[in-house]
């Protein structure tokens, strides 16, 4: 289980998170914070960057410790490391970016249980070197941030008629308020998933069913074996 996965170039690892294995739209992880914090562009970007920071740090530390951490307690160890970094980020945001802290509310501490971070620790960082894990964390974090930003832009411009808090002409008079509420989040989410599926259709070769259809197949290393 600890053996390195098939050879992958650093650039590939970095770019993979943005479209091909986008954590939100392809792996469908971290859905809850994506819905909740994408009501405006500024909170979306803030949330994305905070999660990226945690993801980068936790991936690097877990990768460093991957030979030391015994298999039986790996999940508690990952959670302690992740919770530690989240708390650090939370304290820094609270001290230096008060507005962002207020608008993110409970979703900032909830990064601890964000599936993307634990998922990458378990799927990638625990099996790969520090450098590749850092790239993976950065790529996945940027993918998360990008998705949130796109969702936030659509929802804020069409839903509230503003962009990053500034009112836009035309849109501020004719807006669709439901887009800034939870149902609108699902509409935008569904449309983006469909778009990404269309964009990657036929380019990413995989089987239709079973283990080969899993979005995690490239990093799992257990393709075709019983889990």
114 vs 82: CA distance, rounded Å: 10
Residue 97: CB minimum distance to other proteins, A: 11
Applying CB under 8 A, among 73, 191, 194, 195 the residue interacting with other proteins is 73
**How far is 190 from 40, CA to CA, in rounded Å?**
18
User: Is 121:58 a contact under the CB 8 Å cutoff?
Assistant: yes
Does residue 194 belong to the site contacting other proteins (CB under 8 A)?
no
Binding span for other proteins by CB under 8 A among 11-19, 24-32, 71-79, 144-152: 71-79
Q: Which of 11, 32, 91, 195 binds other proteins (CB under 8 A)?
A: 91
Name the one range near other proteins by CB under 8 A: 47-55, 70-78, 131-139, 216-224.
70-78
- 3-state DSSP assignment of residue 119: helix
Q: Where are the alpha helices (DSSP H) in the chain?
A: 10-16, 31-37, 41-64, 74-96, 98-104, 115-120, 130-155, 182-200, 217-220
How many residues sit close enough to other proteins to count as binding (CB under 8 A)? Answer: 26
What does residue 215 show for φ and ψ, rounded to 5 degrees?
-65, -15
Cβ distance to other proteins smaller for residue 14 or 62: 62
Of residues 15-44, which lie at the interface with other proteins (CB under 8 A)?
39
- E runs forming strands in the chain: 162-163, 166-167
Two structure tokens written together for 98: 């008060």
Binding site for other proteins (CB under 8 A): 39, 65, 68-70, 72-73, 76-77, 80-81, 83-84, 87-88, 91-92, 94-96, 98, 159-160, 177, 180-181
């Amino acid at each position: 289980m600890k053996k390195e996965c098939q050879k992958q170039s650093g650039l590939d690892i970095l770019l993979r998170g943005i479209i091909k294995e986008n954590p939100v739209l392809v792996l469908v992880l971290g859905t809850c914070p994506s819905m909740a914090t994408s009501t405006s562009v500024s909170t979306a970007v803030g949330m994305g960057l905070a999660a990226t920071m945690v993801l980068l740090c936790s991936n690097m530390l877990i990768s460093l410790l991957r030979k030391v951490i015994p298999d039986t307690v790996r999940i508690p160890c990952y959670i302690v490391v992740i919770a530690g970094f989240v708390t650090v980020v939370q304290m820094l945001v609270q001290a230096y970016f008060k507005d962002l802290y207020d608008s993110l509310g409970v979703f900032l501490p909830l990064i601890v249980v964000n599936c993307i971070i634990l998922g990458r620790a378990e799927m990638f960082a625990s099996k790969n070197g520090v450098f590749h894990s850092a790239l993976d964390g950065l790529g996945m974090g940027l993918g998360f941030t990008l998705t949130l930003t796109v969702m936030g832009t659509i929802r804020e411009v069409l839903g509230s008629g503003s962009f990053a808090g500034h009112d836009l002409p035309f849109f501020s008079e004719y807006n669709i308020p439901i887009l800034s509420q939870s149902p609108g989040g699902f509409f935008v989410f569904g449309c983006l998933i469909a778009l990404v599926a269309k964009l990657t259709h036929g380019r990413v070769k995989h089987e239709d069913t079973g283990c080969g259809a899993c979005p995690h197949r490239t990093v799992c290393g257990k393709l075709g074996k019983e889990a």
